[in-house]
Amino acid sequence: MTRAVIDRPLLVVVGSGGVGKTTLAAALGLSAARAGKHTLVMTFDPSLRLKDALGVGEGARDREVAVRVDTPGRLEVSLLDARAAFDRLVVEYSPDADAARRILDNRFYQHLAGGLAGILEYMAVERLFEVTAARRYDRIVLDTPPTHQALDFLEAPDRVVGFLESGALGIALRPWFDERGRLRAGVGPVRRGIEELLDRVVGLDLLREIAEFFQAFAPLYEGFRRRAAEVRKLLRAPETLFLLVAGPGEERIPDTLFFARRLREQGHHLGPIVVNQTHSLLPVDSADPRLTGHMGEGLRLLAWLGERDARGLVELRGLLGRDQRLVDLPFLAEPPTDLRSLEALGRQFHERLAASAAG
Amino acid sequence: MGTAPERMTRVTLIDRLRERQLVVVTGKGGVGKTVLSAALAHGLAAAGARALLLELDPRESLHHLLDAPPSGGEVVEVRPRLFLHHLDPRIVLEGLVRERLPVPMLARKVVASPLFRQFADAAPGLKEMAVLGHALRLVGGKAKPAVDVIVLDAPATGHGVSLLAAPLLVAEVIVRGPVGDLAREVADFVADPRRCGTVIGTLAEELPVQEAVELIGMLRSRLDRAPEAVIVNAVYPVPPRQGTKAPPGTAAAVTLWRRRRRVNEREIARLAKAWPGPRIEIPLLPIDRGPDLVAEIAARLEAAPIPGQGRR
């Protein structure tokens, strides 16, 4: 029954850094494969231990590789690499090898484009488009980049479409320079005057390279725009469910509420909110003065953590209302280091999800 | 050997940072970087320095940690010698363009144009460089209030090194003009180990330690620098000896405690192997996030000696 809650073709796992998104994404992928779904987990930056657990290495960078696991459905994993994906895309969509080279060799591309804000996010979106278009999977679990403003990722297609449709691009694409690299503005002394001023302000060489970059990129724009618009739709489709992962404790609540509100405002479908890494309550009180000595002091700390996280859950539940499913997962002594413990985490998630319906 | 008089003065991280003008606090998201930044600034102010805490996160939160009203873009003195300043990098960059462009009308046009906005948002390094340029001006004695040292709570996104490498990157791309000049000026500031230092925050867990080690490597390779210290936050206490009797119902918690401590020790050992320099461990404390936690961590930072030769 409860499996139906998250039984969607595309699951997007979002949340702040350090809350266990990637591990949970892998666990959900594994449990989907166990349930017979042909599944892909797309992720960014898994820990070495998680990579070991899945048995994938650098071979999975920027492409899908199968996890060696005996499940009714196949499980595949890919590690997203923005720069490599961008370079590949340039080569793939350029009209010829020369055109591709012109972009890849451009100083502006090398220095700036590779680190352009949102590029990592955008490349994930590109990949998502390719993978969903190929329809090779029943289920895709998409892990999102560990940024504080994790929602940058979701806005990447909007930003790209916005940029491509804004006048800015038209300005950048105008033939500013002639074949001899001279500015096409004014004539004679006026042109030289403008050139001198621009040279003094940012350097004419840089402007030339920026103009070259945008022009070399021109054949790629239409494709970018079209795909970004498709993904924009996909991320808002009813078949796409967002799983928000949060840390425990009252201090994280503002973050969680912020993410949840933004997701809804942007027209995404928010599924359960997972409060991860929750310490359990102890049968002792953190303020009990009888807890002394080495053991006592440690238990007071652990009891305090349990009380803090329980308080956080109660408060969050009150703020979110009854309609929002809240799944709390216990703090693990150590994140899963093999497929068995990963599978156990997936089972635990489904158990807690079932319990969340009763409450 | 052994006959040299014990003249090594006891140096703490706070002493060391008092000699700097800018301290960049970085590390993986979720390691408590903001709390550590607040504690460092708190400690510096307590030690007599005029310390300014610089926050870039658009969702302003540092004032909660210091029991103060939000800065609202102004420099506010939240307690004696401790200042708080929340900055919007975009506004700093716009100010910079206005200040540096030779023609005021041109500057206004540039700042108002959508192309500039898009470019400023997207181009890596520009906003970061503007923020560091702003910090340089604040400690340069040209701005009010005068401050001795700035603690920058660096953004969690990506690696903090990109913030420090930003001026170099911009200077490489924009070689001429006022922006290029500023980029070089800021790059020199950041490259000067007497003026600018880095503190890395981490947890004794796999991913944060992995990122800290990568950060140290990038600091070394890209800027030829080493951090002032690595602060390991929220370390579990040493567990009681095996066989010590636990109260009923707490056995699972004690097992968790032992296993967490084992993970912590393993990761601290991994960190120590990659980074033999100053390392300070802050225990996991049963204190809610807020002014009390900041004060307690500051007290521990003030009490922890770091290896070194006293003054350089």
Which residues are A95's β-sheet partners?
Answer: none
Average pLDDT on B32-56 reads 95
Considering only the beta carbons, identify the residue of A283, A304, A305 that sits closest to B249.
Answer: A283
- Kindly list the distances between the CA atom of residue B96 and the CA atoms of A267, B88, B100, B165, B178, in Å, as whole numbers in the listed order: 37, 13, 6, 19, 10
Q: For A70-107, what is each residue's pLDDT tens digit?
A: 999 999 999 887 777 778 777 877 788 888 888 888 77
- The sheet with strand B196-203 has its strands ordered as B75-79, B82-86, B51-55, B149-153, B22-26, B196-203, B229-235, B279-283
In this structure, what DSSP letter does residue B241 have? P
pLDDT above 70: residue B29:
yes
Gyration radius of chain A over CA positions = 25
* Ramachandran assignment for A333, one of left (phi > 0), alpha (psi -120 to 50 degrees), beta (any other): alpha
B55 close to B310: Cβ distance less than 8 angstroms: no
Average pLDDT on B13-17 reads 95
pLDDT above 70: residue A148:
no
Q: For B81-118, what is each residue's pLDDT tens digit?
A: 999 999 988 888 888 777 776 677 777 777 777 667 76
Class at the top of the CATH hierarchy for domain A2-358: alpha beta
Packing angle, helices A152-165 and A119-134, rounded to 10 = 90
Residue of A nearest to B286 (CA): A301
Burial of B302: CB neighbours in 10 Å, binned 0-12, 13-18, 19+: middle
Which residues are B76's β-sheet partners?
Answer: B84
CB contact under 8 A, A197 and B122: no
User: pLDDT band at A112, cuts 50/70/90?
Assistant: low
Could you tell me if A66 lies within 8 Å of chain B, comparing CB atoms? no
Residue of B nearest to A255 (CA): B59
Q: For A159-174, what is each residue's pLDDT tens digit?
A: 766 766 666 666 666 6
Could you tell me if A170 lies within 8 Å of chain B, comparing CB atoms? no
C-alpha A171/C-alpha A168 separation (Å) is: 5
CB contact under 8 A, A331 and B121: no
- The minimum CA-CA distance between B139 and chain A, rounded to whole Å, is 26
User: pLDDT band at B311, cuts 50/70/90?
Assistant: very low
Q: Taking the model in full, what pTM does it have?
A: 0.88
C-alpha A27/C-alpha A30 separation (Å) is: 5
Interacting residues of A63 by C-beta distance below 8 A, sequence separation 6+: A78
CATH architecture group of domain B13-236+246-302: 3-Layer(aba) Sandwich (3.40)
CB contact under 8 A, A148 and B123: no
CB contact under 8 A, B121 and A117: yes
- The minimum CA-CA distance between B8 and chain A, rounded to whole Å, is 34
User: pLDDT band at B123, cuts 50/70/90?
Assistant: low
Considering only the beta carbons, identify the residue of A18, A286, A294 that sits closest to B30.
Answer: A18
Q: For B287-304, what is each residue's pLDDT tens digit?
A: 999 999 999 999 999 998
Q: Which residues of A touch B123 (CB under 8 A)?
A: 112, 116-117
pLDDT above 50: residue B312:
no
CB contact under 8 A, A331 and B256: yes
What pLDDT was estimated at residue A197? 72
Considering only the beta carbons, identify the residue of B158, B173, B247 that sits closest to A206.
Answer: B173
CB contact under 8 A, B173 and A112: yes
Among A149-153, A227-231, B150-154, B173-177, the range of highest mean pLDDT: B150-154
Omega cis (within 30) before B145: yes
What pLDDT was estimated at residue A118? 59
Could you tell me if A302 lies within 8 Å of chain B, comparing CB atoms? yes
pLDDT above 80: residue A37:
yes
What pLDDT was estimated at residue A170? 66
C-alpha A352/C-alpha A336 separation (Å) is: 18
- The minimum CA-CA distance between A286 and chain B, rounded to whole Å, is 9
CB contact under 8 A, A147 and B210: no
**Mean model confidence pLDDT for chain A:** 83
